[in-house]
Structure 1
Amino acid sequence: MNPPPPRYRGRFAPSPTGPLHFGSLVAALGSWLHARAAGGQWLLRVEDIDPPREARGAAVRQLATLVAFGLEHDGEIVRQRDRGPAYAAALAKLLAAGDAFECRCSRTDLVPSGGLHRGCVARPGGHAAAVRLRVPDVTLGFDDAVQGRFEQQLARDVGDFVLRRADGLWAYQLAVVVDDADAGITTVVRGADLLDSTPRQILLQRRLGLPTPAYLHLPLVLAGDGRKLSKSLHSLPLDDTDPWPALAAAWRFLGQEPSAFTRAGSPAKALARALPAFDARRIPAVPGIAFGADQDTTTGT
């Protein structure tokens, strides 16, 4: 007999660089709905491996916002700052197999190749060594549940990418792959801004002998000026004292029937009532305008 499929395990993994905004809410709500609709677990991970970019108190505030919006998680919260030994073990495996290598090339050295690493220069200008993954000249693709087929020519579009930075900090691509595998994540639901990171992560999973989860990339949230929300002045923090307008707008942004989400009781109870009406097939692939952009309450879906 074949073993039963693993129970659904999803996650939301914010970086503590500032308060959550509407785009963060769409990602959190989308991943929560997908997990709960499948009868699965929804885990939280704080991606705090880049201290220079971390805002003091941001992680605590982000977690409080999720509670205020009724997004309750399962299990203990994982913090990447505590995960160094797991990343080091994965890196050692890649180095031993010849899949990773030390590199002293500086950013200036890579300017002629558009910033991509396709081989170390003869006399690199860097001092401390980073560690990169050796990327093959192949096209790697996957089928996304919302965005459809996505393919990337790794050597041309990505090059040998960093696993551990020259300053000793762990790179996102390695950390997220190791963390998802150790947590038993079966489905990754996140924003479409991370779509082009997925082939790199699948390559790493294969090199490390780890399972590849299913992927669902939610539509990108744009400000009224057409820029990604997090890079716009419109990326105002969510209001924990009045979650209803943004929560209802996020539900609509995900393409769901507006009447299924009603303001009554607590946000957690409202989400529980709306959950049976959630249909992942209604999630749009195209970007939309954020709630509140240019003082407009439409969602652009």
Structure 2
Amino acid sequence: MYIGRFAPTPSGPLHFGSLLAAMASYLEARSQQGKWLLRIEDIDKPREVSGAANQIIHAMEHYGFQWDGKIEYQSTRTEAYQYALNELSPHTYPCTCSRRKIRTDARLGTLGLIYPGNCRKTKQTPENQQYAIRIRTPDKSLCIHDAIQGQFCQNLAIESGDFIIRRADKLFAYQLAVVVDDQWQGITHIVRGADLLDNTQRQIHLQQCLNYTTPDYMHIPLASYPDGQKLSKHTHAPALITDDTKAILSNLCRALSFLGQKAPNHTEFDHLQDCWDWAIQHWDNTLIPKKMSIPLSDTSIKN
């Protein structure tokens, strides 16, 4: 059975870019009579905005999303992450490098600064000193076929270096948490924004080290401002309107059109469910533009 998911981080309210990812994953699942799960990725407490998780759930309810089962929260799953971390111990090592040290020694790669491997031979856990835990990366090309972006390859040793899976502040890293939860929930297909494409090989590396199943991947184009910056909480993308049914229907139809679907005008729908019924019946992922991002006009950004 197809099992998909939407997994927002509660660092702010949903915006149009979030709606695109939620819609694409939802329609992929529902058009194949699959399950669709909602997970709140609240593992990174310093980034979390108070009340944002409830705002996200409220917006999704008002937009007519219907998820299967209960909402899962990463903050309740730390024991599972610790278990996985223990299982990965043959592939990991403690790292005491400061950010300043890494900036001094590292070279710049396509994914940012590449860890130079200063602590790679460390075996003993440092006493009375904070340390992160890194996983060794293989010096080989790892390729996937993405349903939208096509063939995508990375050599993790060259392009990212050994990466952190537990931070020095003892918080588990996104890469580990998402892999553990996708396996636990039986996720078969991951549909998300193209900004996460370059995370995929790191996650597959973890899946392979843990003997997990690798899902199928689809990375949809991002909505961007006219200057090329993606719509995000960091670029102050406006929150979705949730108190006006006509505006909600308009946003749903705009999202369908952005995703390449030949959607009717929103005025043709009397109810939200009518719009969703049409979208599920007519969903065609081959129409999604094969691009990393698509700019929106200034007027269409205002939600």
TM-score by length of 2: 0.90
Alpha-carbon displacement from aligned partner over 1:34-64 (angstroms, at most 9, x marks no partner) = 0001110000000001111111100001011
Shift, 1:275, TM fit: 1.3
Shift, 1:258, TM fit: 2.1
Q: Does the 8 A contact of 1:118 with 1:155 survive in 2? A: no
Percentage of matched positions with identical amino acids: 45
Query: Which AA in structure 2 matches 1:288?
Result: I
Could you tell me which runs of 5 or more consecutive residues in structure 2 were left unpaired when the two chains were aligned.
108-112
**Residue matched to 1:171:** 173
**Residue matched to 2:30:** 36
Could you tell me which runs of 5 or more consecutive residues in structure 1 were left unpaired when the two chains were aligned.
1-6
Alpha-carbon displacement from aligned partner over 1:161-184 (angstroms, at most 9, x marks no partner) = 011000010100000000000000
Cα distance in 1, alignment partners of residues 216 and 256 from structure 2: 22
Alpha-carbon displacement from aligned partner over 1:123-160 (angstroms, at most 9, x marks no partner) = 99x94011111111111110000000000111111111
Q: Does the 8 A contact of 2:12 with 2:233 survive in 1? A: no
Cα distance in 1, alignment partners of residues 18 and 264 from structure 2: 23
Deviates more, 1:185-194 or 1:235-244: 235-244
SS in 2 for 1:259: coil
Aligned ranges 1:176-215 → 2 under 5 Å: 176-215=178-217
Q: Answer yes or no: is 1:104 the counterpart of 2:125.
A: no
Query: Which AA in structure 1 matches 2:250?
Result: P
Cα distance in 2, alignment partners of residues 157 and 285 from structure 1: 24
The ranges of structure 1 where at least 4 consecutive aligned residues each deviate by more than 4 angstroms after the TM superposition are 121-124, 231-234, 260-263
Shift, 1:253, TM fit: 0.5
Q: Does the 8 A contact of 1:70 with 1:266 survive in 2? A: no
**Residue matched to 1:295:** 299
Alpha-carbon displacement from aligned partner over 1:188-239 (angstroms, at most 9, x marks no partner) = 0000000000000001000000000000000011012210111665610000
| CA 181–294 in structure 1, closer or farther in 2 if over 3 Å, else same | same
Alpha-carbon displacement from aligned partner over 1:244-286 (angstroms, at most 9, x marks no partner) = 2211110001000122866423323311122111101001121
| CA 169–297 in structure 1, closer or farther in 2 if over 3 Å, else same | closer
Alignment length (residue pairs): 287
SS in 2 for 1:150: strand
Cα distance in 2, alignment partners of residues 294 and 162 from structure 1: 38
**Residue matched to 1:137:** 139
Of the three residues 7, 10, 18, the one matched with 1:16 is 10
Shift, 1:108, TM fit: 1.2
Q: Does the 8 A contact of 2:102 with 2:116 survive in 1? A: no
**Residue matched to 1:92:** 86
Alpha-carbon displacement from aligned partner over 1:12-38 (angstroms, at most 9, x marks no partner) = 000000000000000000000000011
- When the two chains are superposed, the root-mean-square deviation of aligned CA atoms in Å is 2.1
Cα distance in 2, alignment partners of residues 263 and 205 from structure 1: 45
Deviates more, 1:258-267 or 1:159-168: 258-267
